[in-house]
Amino acid sequence: MLQVRTQTISLSSAQWQTLEKQALALSRYIVFESADQTSAWYGFGATAICKPANNAAGYQKVANWLAGLHQQMINSINPEMLAILGSFTFMKIGKQQHNDWQKLRNGYFILPRFLIKKTAQKTDLIETTEQQFATADIVQDFKQYLPQTKVANNLDKLSYYADAKTWQRHVAEIVQQIQGRSTLEKVVLARTLQVNNEMDFDYAKILTRLRQKQLAVYHLVLKVDHQLFVSATPERLVKLTASVLQTAAVAGTAPRGVEKYQDQALGTALLQDKKNRSEQQIVVAEIKRRLTPLTTHLEIPDEPILLKSQRVQHLYTPIRAHLAANENIFTLIAALHPTPALGGYPKEAALTLIRRWEPDFRGLFGAPFGYVTFAGTGEFAVAIRSMLIHGQRAKLFAGAGIVAASDPKQEVQETSLKFEPMLTLLQ
């Protein structure tokens, strides 16, 4: 049985920095910070864990697990105050190697032992336990739960490895297949960049840089044992509040300009580029097709706008709808993931080529990462612009949408640009 209690608290920036260092000494720590900075969830430790499985059944497994947690509650609180947090995987493993992901290889969801929910109005501390509360004071319990930390003094000396030539050759082969098959329109191919350090990476320093350098994007963090997954993604998969859902079609990439006039020129060129507009329209049409049976009052603008992050900008179409009866956030995720922006189109044909040509299992890269409250509301982002770190080794992920008009050399340049958000956290 589960007991829950809450209290509104106040944390200074200095107290928060100390708190996060302690959190990173725990075996489990998870963060979801919204792109608009209006809300955030932080999970410390775990009262319960669910590993979804890397296939379609994983969504229902997590839904059933959440329903079971509901039934174990012996005291009532506002269900919007309590949430599970975690990530699914991008897709089924198949025959690919996945040793890098260890405990994360099937996805990972947590009902945190302690949860902090931050909004613009207040900060709440929530404690959930299967035992009796240790003391009558929730804040005292929290302080006792957190471990003491050692001061890290790591000097980063980095080396890099990326097999860009092999990946470029794979892109060229996929372009030929798309040109030769009238039904295959797009394949999103990912590649990796290996970064090695002479000492263990300082996880606290990386998260400080994440908030300093990667603005106006989602911040996603999951630490399990000694592994740390980090994402600074601009892309929402789905947000559900009451019965209203929000999602978006994102595709096409251009760099940001140093000066305002350069930035505007690059954005205008992206809006007018036929290849990128075609790629983005594929995403819009497919999301519409998938949402139609699950929703009512589907609203999709005719023209995209620009979504700008620190280093790049994308074509962006916001989408809203009302959720149909008997549907929930898990059925939405199952329908939407992966969108053509992360998988390709048609879905199954594209995923078959991804399994064939990608040497690395994507794991949480490009996967739905987010939270679901006990009221059934929640939000999931698409975990792109991400990396997996374990001690002295970091693996960065980036993908590019390959269509018939793609230039393999330009796709290498685009993915190199997409590595930069994570590289800035390591350097």
Q: Helix (H) and strand (E) counts for the chain?
A: 10, 22
Q: What tens digit of pLDDT does each residue of 216-236 get?
A: 999 999 999 999 999 999 999
- Strands (DSSP E) contained in 131-279 are 158-161, 186-197, 218-224, 227-233, 236-241, 244-255
**What's the mean pLDDT in 31-35?**
97
Annotated catalytic residue: which of 21, 117, 186, 223?
Answer: 186
Listed residue (223, 181, 218) closest to 201, CA to CA: 223
Q: What tens digit of pLDDT does each residue of 325-369 get?
A: 999 999 999 999 998 889 999 999 999 999 888 878 899 999 999
The two three-digit tokens of residue 373, written as one number = 């409250």
Burial class of residue 180 in the structure, from the number of CB atoms within 10 Å of its CB (0-12 exposed, 13-18 middle, 19+ buried): exposed
Distance CA 379, CA 317 (A): 18
| CB crowding 191-203: b at 16 or more within 10 Å, else e | bbbebebeeebbb
Tell whether the model's pLDDT for residue 97 goes beyond 70: no
Burial class of residue 136 in the structure, from the number of CB atoms within 10 Å of its CB (0-12 exposed, 13-18 middle, 19+ buried): exposed
CATH class of the domain defined by 158-218+234-426: alpha beta
Tell whether the model's pLDDT for residue 143 goes beyond 90: yes
Query: With the C-alpha atoms ordered 66, 68, 70, 73, is the resulting torsion angle positive or negative?
Result: negative
φ/ψ of residue 306, rounded to 5: -100, 135
For the chain, give the percent of residues with pLDDT over 70. Answer: 97
Annotated catalytic residue: which of 20, 127, 185, 235?
Answer: 235
Supply the DSSP string of 225-236, one letter for each residue: TTEEEEEEE--E
The two three-digit tokens of residue 417, written as one number = 């640009």
**What's the mean pLDDT in 92-114?**
82
Listed residue (11, 341, 389, 31) closest to 188, CA to CA: 341
Token pair 């890098």 in the structure block, residue = 100
Q: What tens digit of pLDDT does each residue of 162-190 get?
A: 889 999 999 999 999 999 887 899 999 99
What pLDDT, on a 0 to 100 scale, did the predictor assign at position 310? 79
What pLDDT, on a 0 to 100 scale, did the predictor assign at position 100? 87
Clarify whether 186 is annotated catalytic.
yes
SS3 427: coil
What pLDDT, on a 0 to 100 scale, did the predictor assign at position 323? 96
**What's the mean pLDDT in 419-425?**
95
Q: In degrees, to the nearest 5, what angle opens at C-alpha 284 toward C-alphas 290 and 222?
A: 75
Domain residue limits, the chain = 3-144, 158-218+234-426
